[in-house]
Amino acid sequence: MRTNGINHLALVCRDMAETVRFYTEVLEMPLVKTVALPDGGQHFFFDCGGGSTVAFFWWPDAPPAAPGIAAVADFPARPKSAVGSMNHVAFHMEDEALEAAIGRLQAAGVKVSLPVVINHDDSEMGVAREPHPGVWIRSVYFQDPNGIMLEFAATLRGWRPDDVRHPPARAVQPAEA
């Protein structure tokens, strides 16, 4: 079986108008499809590039957000979320465009991760203060109006055979689905 990437990721928002404004005006992702659901809800799709979309459901009676359980509460301070949750969405971005994107987010009043740009490397901590030849991805993390953790990720190199070197961990008692 071979897929061709992500078609869309479907998330849930608290207010569709607020979400449309953020994704179209702040992130500059065109709204490409809207669906009115028979139960009174809505399902809207935004073009996030590369032939993929990020979509949102909205229902007037959706359960409340659950930061730290169904979503990340704060990154990088509290990065954990529950089994079966969505931790964050990372969007590809060229490294040269990262600084301008951060400026745009900050100008729109969006709180970004501290340090602002995170240099992911293969060190024990997994991050470096400054870029160096071992940094494989540079990222900035921020939340949308729904509390969904987002990332702009600039991949600096392709995958190599030595990038897969850790055995998968086993839970002492596997979580129930």
* CATH of 68-158 among 3.30.70.1400, 3.30.720.110, 1.10.3720.10, 3.30.450.20: 3.30.720.110
Q: What is 1-50 written as a DSSP string? A: ----S-SEEEEE-S-HHHHHHIIIIIS-PPEEEEEE-TTS-EEEEEEEET
Q: What pTM was estimated for this model as a whole?
A: 0.89
Q: Pick one of 1.10.1330.10, 3.30.530.20, 3.10.180.10, 3.30.70.1060 as the CATH number of 1-60.
A: 3.10.180.10
- Measured distance CA(41)–CA(134) in Å, rounded: 46
Strand partners for 155:
137
What's the first-to-final CA gap in the chain, in angstroms?
Answer: 24
Tens-level pLDDT at each residue, the chain (177 residues): 998 889 999 999 999 999 999 999 999 999 999 999 999 999 999 999 999 999 999 999 999 888 888 888 887 778 888 888 889 999 999 999 999 999 999 999 999 988 789 999 988 888 888 889 999 999 999 999 999 999 999 999 999 898 898 888 888 876 666
